[in-house]
Structure 1
Amino acid sequence: MPWENIFTWTNSWALVCWLILAFAPHRDRVLPYVFYLGCGVLALTYASLILPLMAGWIDDGGPVGRAPADFTKLSGVMSLFASPGGATIGWIHYLAFDLFVGIWVARNADRHGYLRIVQVPILFFVFMLGPIGLLLYLILRTTTKGKPENSTLPS
């Protein structure tokens, strides 16, 4: 498999989606496209790679004799990322879910009246450091928009 090409393509695709998410005017009309063409394409790419890899139909390009993949042990998880295929597929997983969270943050922030100038730095943190960006947004919502229980519901 051309893992480097797949990695580059998905990274570029995600970056384009993030730029559209952060800077497109009339975001309410653009968000469905970013959702389906951004998250959807990344999720489809992930599925089209992980399923054949797990079935043994494609090679991950990793070294022979490494520890078997095992989600219950650190060494097993590290083994998953010890190949070009595993690292690429894992990265696509991050890209898809971080973009999904970014879309939720942007949509929620729009609903609650946050200006784009406030949103863009938070979206940057979601893009670069996923959970930290989400945490920043939840802190912002909790401290500026009323009751904490209303700030954490994904509405």
Structure 2
Amino acid sequence: MVETMLLVAFFTATMWVGPFWMLMLLQPYAERTKKWMEGPWFVLGPLIAYLIVLAMNLTALSDMFGDVTLSGFVSGLADVLGTNDGAVLAWTHFIIGDIIVTRWIWKRSVETEMNKTLAQVGILFGVMLMPVGLAIHFISMQQNKENNTHS
């Protein structure tokens, strides 16, 4: 039963963000994309999955704080992350962060009327490798600013 719940949580978190990400990626300036990205819907699936797995593991998480030293905490964290439950918790945490940052990249790109291709590259990497997507977006914003200044 627990294994099934973990698989459902993992699958839900991963697949939930797909349609939102694809709209931001393929149609960044479309009204439909703006409408879909208005509320919290883009993050609710992974957030609910995370909270369910977290609720199933409150005792394991409390064990992380048993030893209040830094090495004790890191050791406890490694123990938790080394389990299936911990891996799903970490994965859903990553998914939530990735889609929130990607939405921010998309929103800033639209607000500044960034070149569509530059926006799409930042959005693509936003979900795939979020820190890389963020770096690409910052560079693209600077490039966009310079292009608008010299026009």
TM-score by length of structure 1 reads 0.74
Question: Is residue 2:55 matched to residue 1:51?
Answer: yes
* Contact in 2 for aligned 1:39/1:96 (Cα 8 Å): yes
* Contact in 1 for aligned 2:102/2:126 (Cα 8 Å): yes
* Contact in 2 for aligned 1:39/1:97 (Cα 8 Å): no
Q: What stretches of structure 1 of length at least 5 have no aligned partner?
A: 61-67, 147-155
> What do you get for the CA RMSD once the two structures are aligned?
2.4
Letter in 1 for 2:46: L
Q: Which has the higher helix share?
A: 2
> CA offset at residue 7 of structure 1?
1.1
* Contact in 2 for aligned 1:4/1:84 (Cα 8 Å): no
Could you tell me the percent identity over the aligned residues?
16
Q: Quote the residue 2:83 is aligned against.
A: 83
* Contact in 2 for aligned 1:98/1:127 (Cα 8 Å): yes
Letter in 1 for 2:45: V
CA distance in 1 between counterparts of 2:119 and 2:143 reads: 15
Q: Quote the residue 2:120 is aligned against.
A: 120
Q: What stretches of structure 2 of length at least 5 have no aligned partner?
A: 147-151
Equivalent residue pairs, number: 134
Q: Quote the residue 2:135 is aligned against.
A: 135
> CA offset at residue 130 of structure 1?
0.9
* Contact in 1 for aligned 2:114/2:141 (Cα 8 Å): no
> CA offset at residue 40 of structure 1?
2.5
Q: Quote the residue 1:22 is aligned against.
A: 25
CA distance in 2 between counterparts of 1:138 and 1:76 reads: 36
Structure 2 CA distance for partners of 1:52 and 1:5, relative to 1, 3 Å: closer
Aligned partner of residue 145 in structure 1, secondary structure: helix
Q: Quote the residue 2:38 is aligned against.
A: 32
- Displaced runs of 4 or more, over 6 A: none
* Contact in 2 for aligned 1:7/1:88 (Cα 8 Å): yes
TM-score by length of structure 2 reads 0.75
| Aligned pairs (5 A) from 1:63-102 | 69=64, 72-73=70-71, 74-102=74-102
Q: Quote the residue 2:149 is aligned against.
A: none
Letter in 2 for 1:111: E
Q: Quote the residue 1:150 is aligned against.
A: none
CA deviation profile, 1:34-67 (whole Å, cap 9, x unmatched): xx1121232232123213411x4xx89xxxxxxx
